[in-house]
Amino acid sequence: MRPLEVALLIVVALAAALPLFPRTRSRILTPPLALLTLAIAVAQAVLEGPRWQLTPAWLAVLAVLVLAARELGRPDSAAARTGSPAEDRAADSPPAPRVVLRSPLLAVTATAGVLLWAMPVVSLPVPSGPFPVGTATTVLIDEQRPEIYGPDPGGPRILPVQFWYPTLPLEELDEPEPAPWLVARDGVTRAAARDAGLPGFALSHLGLVRSNTVLDAPLAPDLELGLVLYSHGWSGFREIHITLLEELASRGYLVIAADHTYGALATQLPDSEVAALDPAALPSGVPSDVYDEASRRLVATFADDLQALLDAVLRDDLLGAIVNGEQLVDTPVGLLGHSTGGGAAVLLCSRDPRCGAIVGYDPWVEPVPDDVIGGDLQVPLLSLRSEEWVDNDNDVRLRRLHAGSTASEGRIAVPGLRHRDLTVLPLLSPLSAQLGLSGPGADRTALAAVDRWTVQFLEHELRGRGADPLVVPPEPERTILEKRAAIGGG
């Protein structure tokens, strides 16, 4: 919960507890406490921003003001004293009706507390690198590829793109306010709520989560930038691993991610149009050969998206106002991908010599062609896998891919995690494990371990910096480095 949300709950609870005090003391405390409650409610709405989870708290504030006015309208209890000590003590005691009248107020306040705790506006971990981080968005329209998904295929493939990069010190920026985690992404929060079986507004508070970036900030000058592309999984979105993207940018990388339109949870297209996830792109309840063909087409589409994105950046026709892409032509590229995005990264790097390293988070390689899985991948490969995906059918093919690699390779298992726990999703609610949305080991330390493995692997393979994490593991207490697999997936 945010600080003013906590303060609001505290003062409302105190106001609800006033009947527990003697009548004379209650009357003294009522006016200042009611005014304090109103002041904090106004400050919270202005400074932190309203959200629907606060509705019970606002009702409680209204009740506090009404009850305060009612209390002040009562005759002064001192005038009713008879002089008898016993009767005077009775006059000062809180009448049972007053206590009962406040009970619903306490229940409403408790309801607000539960909602605010279960659906918090989280604070994202601050990146540890030496640079502040800027971010910018644009749109890539790929005229060379017709759209094959969605309700009206045939037009050019359209990909919303976001960049994260090192920027100037905050004191040198005009308005260094932190940008939202989800920039203009109402469609994503509505789709996520529906995906969880909730009303469309239920996750709107995610729009209040702030990142550690400054929107449209200039690029820090005189840097030798690293270059990284990130690809989300099926029904994911480009900011789903924001902690890692910001961490890399803070260390001098230009990080680029796109929403894979119709394969993302929701995609904000130009003119405020929202492209929903196309279930036909990965159909369920169909024969296995139909599903296999659809999955191969999907991974190939994601890989082509990455290639189009990389080509556009290096041609310097995508975000020239921020960075001169021509200066990055000889820079080896790191490819990161979760699930479908991980399979796409492997597929692209099997054919594109610009790839310098691959990090996959439960990379879905079942749809990757056999000649890639059984070939000699010549790009350093790190696979971080959740417990849920260790030893499944996909893992058999992944071990075969690693076994055939002629470059540096390693497979990491992260116990206690489920597939989506390799992203920031488990951090969004303290109830995620109880609701079955994450594994028992999902927390900030597990995500930090995944991020440290990634950073150290990229630093070593792309920049020649630091120890090889496959020799000196960065997080041995949370992860398991597995031995090289034998050919055939053993």
Q: What is the pLDDT, as a whole number, of residue 323?
A: 80
Looking at per-residue confidence, does 489 or 335 come out higher?
Answer: 335
- Is the pLDDT confidence value at 490 over 60? no
**444: part of which helix (H) or strand (E)?**
helix 444-463
Q: What is the pLDDT, as a whole number, of residue 308?
A: 96
Q: In the numeric block, which tokens belong to residue 36?
A: 């304090």
Q: What is the pLDDT, as a whole number, of residue 324?
A: 79
Whole-Å CA distances, 376 to 338, 341, 385, 408, 468: 22, 20, 21, 12, 21
Q: What is the pLDDT, as a whole number, of residue 87?
A: 47
Instruction: Provide mean pLDDT across the span 88-98.
Output: 50
Render pLDDT for 142-176 as a digit per residue (tens, 0 to 9): 999 999 999 989 999 999 999 999 999 999 988 88
Please state whether 422 falls in left (phi above 0), alpha (psi between -120 and 50) or beta: alpha
What is the C-alpha separation between 426 and 443, in angstroms, rounded?
Answer: 7
Q: Where are the beta strands (DSSP E) in 21-67?
A: none
Render pLDDT for 127-140 as a digit per residue (tens, 0 to 9): 999 999 999 999 99
User: Which listed CATH number (3.40.50.300, 1.10.150.120, 3.40.50.1820, 3.10.180.10) goes with 133-482?
Assistant: 3.40.50.1820
Q: If you average pLDDT over every residue of the chain, what do you get?
A: 88
Helix (H, G, I), strand (E, B) or coil at 359: strand
Q: What is the pLDDT, as a whole number, of residue 476?
A: 77
Instruction: Provide mean pLDDT across the span 465-483.
Output: 88
Render pLDDT for 312-352 as a digit per residue (tens, 0 to 9): 998 877 777 778 777 888 899 999 999 999 999 999 999 99
What is the C-alpha separation between 427 and 407, in angstroms, rounded?
Answer: 34
Q: Which of 201, 23, 10, 248 shows the shortest CA–CA distance to 1? A: 10
> Worst-scoring range by mean pLDDT, 46-50, 61-65, 106-110, 432-436?
432-436
Render pLDDT for 360-419 as a digit per residue (tens, 0 to 9): 999 999 999 999 999 999 999 999 999 999 999 999 999 999 999 999 999 999 999 999
Whole-Å CA distances, 361 to 131, 364, 383, 426: 26, 9, 6, 15
- Is the pLDDT confidence value at 237 over 90? yes
Instruction: Provide mean pLDDT across the span 115-126.
Output: 93
What is the C-alpha separation between 258 and 405, in angstroms, rounded?
Answer: 28
Q: In the numeric block, which tokens belong to residue 303?
A: 């890989």
Contacts of 247 (CB under 8 A, 6+ apart): 127, 128, 129, 451, 455
> Worst-scoring range by mean pLDDT, 167-181, 282-296, 422-436?
422-436
Contacts of 225 (CB under 8 A, 6+ apart): 165, 166, 252, 253, 254, 323, 327, 328, 331
Instruction: Provide mean pLDDT across the span 87-114.
Output: 67
Q: What is the pLDDT, as a whole number, of residue 487?
A: 42
Q: Which of 282, 448, 241 shows the shortest CA–CA distance to 367? A: 282
**449: part of which helix (H) or strand (E)?**
helix 444-463
Q: What is the pLDDT, as a whole number, of residue 24?
A: 56
Whole-Å CA distances, 218 to 136, 270, 319, 327: 10, 24, 12, 16
Looking at per-residue confidence, does 226 or 273 come out higher?
Answer: 226
What is the C-alpha separation between 350 and 352, in angstroms, rounded?
Answer: 6
Helix (H, G, I), strand (E, B) or coil at 134: strand
- Is the pLDDT confidence value at 85 over 60? no
Looking at per-residue confidence, does 328 or 74 come out higher?
Answer: 328
For residue 200, name the pLDDT band (cuts at 50, 70, 90).
confident
Q: What is the DSSP letter of 204?
A: G
Instruction: Provide mean pLDDT across the span 293-302.
Output: 98
Contacts of 353 (CB under 8 A, 6+ apart): none
Please report, for the chain, the start and end positions of each structural domain, with discontinuous segments joined by +.
Answer: 3-118, 133-482
Q: What is the pLDDT, as a whole number, of residue 38?
A: 93
What is the C-alpha separation between 167 and 347, in angstroms, rounded?
Answer: 32
Instruction: Provide mean pLDDT across the span 298-317.
Output: 93
Q: What is the pLDDT, as a whole number, of residue 96?
A: 53
What is the C-alpha separation between 307 and 211, in angstroms, rounded?
Answer: 27
Determine whether 108 is exposed, middle or buried from the number of CB atoms within 10 Å of its CB (0-12, 13-18, 19+).
Answer: buried
Q: What percent of the chain stands above pLDDT 90?
A: 67
Query: How many CB atoms are located within 10 Å of the residue 135 CB?
Result: 26
User: Are 258 and 264 spatial neighbours (Cβ–Cβ below 8 Å)?
Assistant: no
Looking at per-residue confidence, does 241 or 24 come out higher?
Answer: 241
Looking at per-residue confidence, does 383 or 196 come out higher?
Answer: 383
Render pLDDT for 248-292 as a digit per residue (tens, 0 to 9): 999 999 999 999 999 999 998 888 788 999 999 999 999 999 999
- Is the pLDDT confidence value at 11 over 80? yes
For residue 197, name the pLDDT band (cuts at 50, 70, 90).
confident
